[in-house]
Amino acid sequence: MWNPDRRSGAAGSFTVQCKFSSRETSLHLSDLGDELKKADRLAARGLATNYVLMTNRRVSAHSEAEIRGAFLRLHGLTEFFLLGREWIALKIRESANLRMLVPRVYGLGDLRQILDERAYAQASAILSGLGDDLAKFVVTQPHNRAATALVKCFTMKALGAEDLVSRWNPHEPRQFFWVDDAFGTTQYEQDLSAVWNRAWPHVGAAIRRGARVLLTSRDYIYRAARRDLKLGAFPLISESQVVVEVQKLNREEREQILYNHIKLGQQPRGFRRQIDPFLKVRLDRVTGGEGKPPPAPTYSRLTWSVAT
């Protein structure tokens, strides 16, 4: 089944014929004698209920009407599609993925997209490389929503403001930029704020074009950076914040995290024996006793498929 224009569809068997020419010429019915014979034989065998003719040659309205009529007169052929030079060019312009798969048809405007493929691959490798650390992660409903949203984006781990600006593609609205430790790793780095201040207009433009941007920072580093950041130039940095207060996790969440880290960790046996008397009651409560999962309403099935 095929629904090429989202209004009318075609179903059955399909034959696709490509009529290529290295010359800048138009296509006429007289050029398709061999194709008509082939289509007749295929339709008679039930292999061409629908016939699609693609060509890089130009097709006038008059020629299209003649060609369509000739094909539809064949017995057993019920639908005919003629996709000419203009249709192919339109699809190439509309699809960045198509251009990515066929580098020869890239224009200069897509050069950045080619280079960024390596950055997308790097981000995927970083996420995949987290491995065991992610296995210890306690999955929550907000995490699932965030993961679902990320699937729909091209995720890129930018090294900083300048990297984000250089890799932003105005023609790709699904870019997601992830900048970790945006204002310093363990302490505030003042020069980073100066770079972000110069980048705010570009970051704002990227977001207006559909890009997503996530900056992460430890709270004490961000508080120090606020003194030097031009917050008025980019109000979103004050208006769109999520503060993760790990000290406010409830008891069940803390027990689940502790259980995951001990079960999937690499602590020495001696250490585990030493802490066992202090953890046995709590871990039994988390696992349901004897290492068995608790009833489904207590923890999500996804959590326990990871934890056990």
Same domain? For 115 and 238 the reply is yes
Query: Is 266 a member of any domain?
Result: yes
- Residue 193, classified by CB atoms within 10 Å of its CB into exposed (0-12), middle (13-18) or buried (19+), is buried
Same domain? For 223 and 174 the reply is yes
The closest of 163, 174, 238, 241 to 202, measured between CA atoms, is 163
Same domain? For 158 and 252 the reply is no
CB 98 within 8 A of CB 124: no
The pLDDT value recorded for residue 262 is: 81
- Distance from chain centroid for Cα 32: 42
The pLDDT value recorded for residue 293 is: 44
CB 227 within 8 A of CB 188: no
d(CA 281, CA 156): 43
d(CA 13, CA 1): 9
Which pLDDT tens digits describe the chain residue by residue (308 residues)? Answer: 887 766 667 888 999 999 888 888 899 999 999 999 999 999 999 999 999 999 999 999 999 999 999 999 999 999 999 999 988 888 877 776 666 555 555 544 454 555 566 666 666 666 555 555 656 666 666 666 666 766 677 778 888 999 999 888 888 888 889 899 999 999 999 999 999 999 999 999 999 988 889 898 998 999 999 999 998 888 888 888 877 777 777 777 777 878 878 877 888 888 888 887 777 554 444 444 444 444 433 333 222 222 32
Same domain? For 172 and 230 the reply is yes
Which residues are within 8 A (CB) of 82 and not within 5 positions of it... i.e. 6 or more apart? 53, 55, 59, 64, 67, 68
Same domain? For 229 and 285 the reply is no
- Expressed as residue numbers, the domain containing 55 is 14-94
Query: Is 152 a member of any domain?
Result: yes
The pLDDT value recorded for residue 94 is: 79
Please state the domain count of the chain.
3
Domain ends where: 94, 126, 142?
A: 94
Same domain? For 255 and 227 the reply is no
Query: Is 269 a member of any domain?
Result: yes
Same domain? For 230 and 169 the reply is yes
d(CA 77, CA 48): 6
Radius of gyration of the CA atoms of the chain, in A:
29
Q: Where are the beta strands (DSSP E) in 46-152?
A: 50-55, 79-83
